[in-house]
Amino acid sequence: MNRQTWRGLTLALMLGGSAGALAPAACAQPAATAPAAKPWLDPKLDADTRADLAVKAMIQDEKLTVIFGYFGADMGDKYKRIPEALPGSAGYVKGIPRLGIPEQFQTDAGVGVATQGGEPNKRERTALPSGMATTATWNPDLAFTGGAMIGSEARDSGFNVMLAGGVNLVREPRNGRNFEYGGEDPLLAGLMVGAQIRGIQSNAIVSTIKHYALNNQENGRFVLNARIGEAEARTSDLLAFQFAIEDSDPHSVMCAYNRINGDYACENDFLLNKVLKQDWGYKNYVMSDWGAVHSSAKAVNAGLDQESAGQAFDKQTFFRGPLKDALAKGEVSQARLDDMVRRILRGLFASGVVEKPVKIAAIDYAAHGKITRADAEEGIVLLKNDKGLLPLVSKARKIAIIGGHADVGVLSGGGSSQVYPIGGRAVTGEGPAAWPGPMIYFPSSPLKALKARLPGADIQYADGKDLAAAAKLAAASDVVLVFANQWNGESFDSPLTLEHDQDALIDAVAGANARTVVVLQTGGPILMPWLSKVGGVVEAWYPGSEGGEAIARVLTGEVDASGRLPVTFPASLAQLPRPVLDGDPKTPDALFEVDYTIEGAAVGYKWFDKKGHQPLFAFGHGLSYTTFAYGNLKATTANGVVTVSFDVKNTGARAGKAVPQVYVSPKAGGWEAPQRLAGFKKLDLAPGATTSVRLTVDPRLLAVWDAQAHGWSVAAGDYTVTLGASSRDPVAKADVAVAAQALPVGLAKR
Contacting residues toward ligand BGC, per CB under 6 A: 90, 108-109, 163, 210, 289-290, 416
Give Cα separations from 175 to 36, 85, 266, 491, 600 (angstroms): 54, 31, 21, 9, 18
In the bound state with ligand BGC, the residue whose beta carbon lies nearer, of 113 and 743, is 113
Minimum separation from the CB atom of position 150 to ligand BGC (A): 14
Looking at residue 388, what DSSP letter applies? Answer: G
Minimum separation from the CB atom of position 210 to ligand BGC (A): 6
**650 backbone dihedrals φ, ψ, rounded to 5°:** -85, 105
In the bound state with ligand BGC, the residue whose beta carbon lies nearer, of 177 and 384, is 177
Are 164 and 200 spatial neighbours (Cβ–Cβ below 8 Å)?
yes
Minimum separation from the CB atom of position 490 to ligand BGC (A): 6
In the bound state with ligand BGC, the residue whose beta carbon lies nearer, of 85 and 380, is 85
In the bound state with ligand BGC, the residue whose beta carbon lies nearer, of 210 and 425, is 210
CA atoms lying within 13 Å on the CB side of residue 115:
21
Dist CA 269 CA 31 (whole Å):
35
In the bound state with ligand BGC, the residue whose beta carbon lies nearer, of 140 and 489, is 489
Contact partners, residue 702, CB within 8 Å, separation at least 6: 642, 664, 666, 678, 714, 719, 738
Give the 3-state secondary structure of residue 15: helix
Minimum separation from the CB atom of position 81 to ligand BGC (A): 13
In the bound state with ligand BGC, the residue whose beta carbon lies nearer, of 289 and 375, is 289
Q: Measured at CB, which residue is nearest to ligand BGC?
A: 416
In the bound state with ligand BGC, the residue whose beta carbon lies nearer, of 256 and 382, is 256
Minimum separation from the CB atom of position 415 to ligand BGC (A): 7
Q: Element (H or E) spanning 148, and its range?
A: helix 140-156
Provide the greatest CA pair distance for the chain.
82
Minimum separation from the CB atom of position 604 to ligand BGC (A): 22
Candidates 156, 279, 289, 305; catalytic one = 289
Whether 589 is catalytic? no
Are 487 and 412 spatial neighbours (Cβ–Cβ below 8 Å)?
no
Q: Counting beta carbons within 10 angstroms of the beta carbon of residue 76, is it exposed (0 to 12), middle (13 to 18) or buried (19 or more)?
A: exposed
Looking at residue 540, what DSSP letter applies? Answer: -
Minimum separation from the CB atom of position 109 to ligand BGC (A): 5
Which ranges of 556-653 does DSSP label H, i.e. alpha helix? 605-611
Minimum separation from the CB atom of position 257 to ligand BGC (A): 7
Give Cα separations from 56 to 52, 277, 342, 449 (angstroms): 6, 22, 10, 59
Dist CA 203 CA 92 (whole Å):
19
> In the chain, what is the straight-line distance between the N-terminal and C-terminal CA atoms, in Å?
45
Q: What is the CA radius of gyration of the chain?
A: 26
In the bound state with ligand BGC, the residue whose beta carbon lies nearer, of 163 and 648, is 163
In the bound state with ligand BGC, the residue whose beta carbon lies nearer, of 170 and 450, is 170
Contact partners, residue 684, CB within 8 Å, separation at least 6: 655, 656, 657
Minimum separation from the CB atom of position 193 to ligand BGC (A): 13
Are 111 and 129 spatial neighbours (Cβ–Cβ below 8 Å)?
yes
Are 279 and 230 spatial neighbours (Cβ–Cβ below 8 Å)?
no
Minimum separation from the CB atom of position 201 to ligand BGC (A): 17
Among 499, 501, 512, residue whose Cα is nearest residue 470: 512
Looking at residue 697, what DSSP letter applies? Answer: E
Query: Does residue 446 have a cis bond before it (omega within 30 degrees)?
Result: no
In the bound state with ligand BGC, the residue whose beta carbon lies nearer, of 289 and 377, is 289
In the bound state with ligand BGC, the residue whose beta carbon lies nearer, of 172 and 289, is 289
Among 139, 235, 248, 143, residue whose Cα is nearest residue 185: 235
Long-range CB contacts (within 8 A, 24+) of 2-6: 2/75, 2/76, 2/118, 2/434, 2/435, 3/75, 3/116, 3/117, 3/118, 3/434, 3/435, 3/436, 3/491, 4/75, 4/78, 4/291, 4/312, 4/313, 6/435, 6/436, 6/491
- Report the amino acid identity of residue 512: A
Where b means 16+ CB within 10 Å and e means fewer, 622-639 reads bbbbbebebeebebebee
Minimum separation from the CB atom of position 16 to ligand BGC (A): 23
In the bound state with ligand BGC, the residue whose beta carbon lies nearer, of 5 and 643, is 5
Looking at residue 699, what DSSP letter applies? Answer: G
Minimum separation from the CB atom of position 661 to ligand BGC (A): 30
Do the strands 717-726 and 729-738 form a parallel or antiparallel pair, or are they unpaired?
A: antiparallel
Are 339 and 96 spatial neighbours (Cβ–Cβ below 8 Å)?
no
Residues annotated as part of the active site: 289
